[in-house]
Structure 1
Amino acid sequence: MKKLMPFIILVLFSVVVQAQKHTPLPHGMVYGQKPDTMVMMQASKLEDFMGKKTRITTAIEGKVISVTQEKGGWFEMDAGNGRIISAHFYNAGISIPKALAGRTVIISGIAAKQFIADDMQHLAGDTVTGKKQHKVKTDPKRVVTFEVKGLMVDK
């Protein structure tokens, strides 16, 4: 009996650990604040919706391509036409699982357009033909960044 009790505890502990590692992300699981789905749009329409605005507060639905960093909630979302939305949580204390990759999610927060430095050189005192002109390489696929306040697993 003395040898049987530690064996039973070990078996129960290993079952609990295995169950925690392989739990699927259920529909409706929320990280951060729950997004408002009433004003939601598709991620592929975000850039057109923004128009000339540089920042907007909105909720979008899209597919997570990859989780780049679990701590802080850094991930990439498909924006259609080969474009990518780089997203991260406003609250750096939130961690998201790698299993989120490939899932459709709804996120809410602030979307901001990225600009190439040459577009704003006149503000820095340089002209388009000035000798201080610098070329900054940016990825044309990453046009919008998203500061996430809440994420909900949809599909």
Structure 2
Amino acid sequence: MRKLLSLVLMLGLTAGAFAQQEAVSYHGKKISEKGAIPATQLAAKMNGKEALNTKVEGTVESVCQAKGCWMKVKTSNGETMRVTFRDYGFFVPKDIVGKTVVVEGTAQTTTTPVAELRHYAEDAGKSKEEIAKITQPEKALAFVADGVIVKR
């Protein structure tokens, strides 16, 4: 009986560990993964458009360490895309660097002013020296998400 109980307990713990690996978390509007394009293809999909409503899948490169109020997702050629959340209405966990996410919302080409770039660098935990080196606005691909799926 004791061996049987131990076996059942071990099987339960093993099943729980596998279930956690497959778990996902939803933030903001609940969305599905269906129809998401790889983040590496987003710039080509934009094709000169100012904005594009779409769904994108990519890998998280960094996250705001103050609140989880933004994240950067890898795109192509070592570039990243800043993802913010519609109306500051939700946040993501701060420990998701390296995880795959699906975001749904609006992609746009933006110019971020120096003051805002410095604020983001501060949120990311950069040193004062690194922050001081930010002297030019940045034109880049950005994304305002209505919903996010974090794959575990």
Q: TM-score, normalised by structure 2?
A: 0.64
2:93 to 94, 97, 104: 97
Please give the per-residue CA displacement for 1:12-56, whole angstroms capped at 9, x wherever unaligned.
Answer: xxxxxxxxxxxx786321001122423210001000011011101
| TM-superposed deviation, 1:99 | 1.0
Partner Cα distance (1:28, 1:116) in 2: 31
User: Once superposed, which parts of structure 1, at least 4 consecutive aligned residues long, lie more than 4 Å away?
Assistant: none
Aligned with 1:148 (options 145, 148, 151): 145
Of Structure 1 and Structure 2, which has the larger fraction of its residues in helix? 2
**Using the alignment, how far apart are the partners of 2:80 and 2:109 within structure 1?**
12
Unpaired stretches in structure 1, ≥5 consecutive residues: 1-23, 118-135
Provide the C-alpha distance between the structure 1 equivalents of 2:111 and 2:148, rounded to a whole number of angstroms.
26
Distance 2:68 2:88 in 1: 4
Q: Mark the runs of 5 or more structure 2 residues left unpaired by the alignment.
A: 1-19, 114-134
Percent of residue pairs bearing the same amino acid type: 27
Q: What are the equivalent positions in structure 2 for 1:6-155 lying under 5 Å apart?
A: 27-71=23-67, 73-115=69-111, 137-139=136-138, 143-155=140-152
Query: What RMSD in Å do the two structures reach over aligned CA positions?
Result: 2.5
Tell me the TM-score normalized by structure 1.
Answer: 0.63
CA drift at 1:116: 9.0
